[in-house]
Structure 1
Amino acid sequence: MKKLVLAAALTAAASTAYAGSLADPIIEAPVIVEEASGSSSGVLIPLILLALVAAAVASD
C-alpha cells in the first residue's frame, strides 16, 4: 500500500513538473479580415436624405 501511495505521489509530482516549459509560447497573430467598402459609403445616405428634404421643400 505504501508503494502504491508513493508511486501515485511521484506520478502527480512528475506530471506537474513537466506542465510548462522555459521557452516562450508561440502565439499566432489573429487574422483580421476587413470587408471592402466603397469610398462614398459614409456620404451616400446623408446626400439621399438631403435630396429628399430638398424635394419636399421644393414641392411646397
Structure 2
Amino acid sequence: MTKFATFAAALSLSATSALAGGFVAPVVEVEPVVVEQRAATTNAGLVVPALLLLAVIAAVASDDDDS
C-alpha cells in the first residue's frame, strides 16, 4: 500500500507541474540592423572657383562698351 501511495503522490506532483502553464512559444527579440551611410558632400574646392568663374563671365558678358 505504501508503494502505491508513493507512486500516486509522485504522479500527481509531476502531472501538475507539467500542466501548470501549458506550452508557450519562445520569443526571440531581433536587434535592428544599423547601416551607417555617409552623407553626400559636395567638393567645395571646385564649387567656389566655378561660381567665381561664372561671376567673371557674367560681368564680361554684361559689359556694353560700344567703343
TM-score (norm 1): 0.38
Of Structure 1 and Structure 2, the greater helix share is in 1
Tell which structure's C-alpha radius of gyration is larger: 2
Question: TM-score, normalized by length of structure 2?
Answer: 0.36
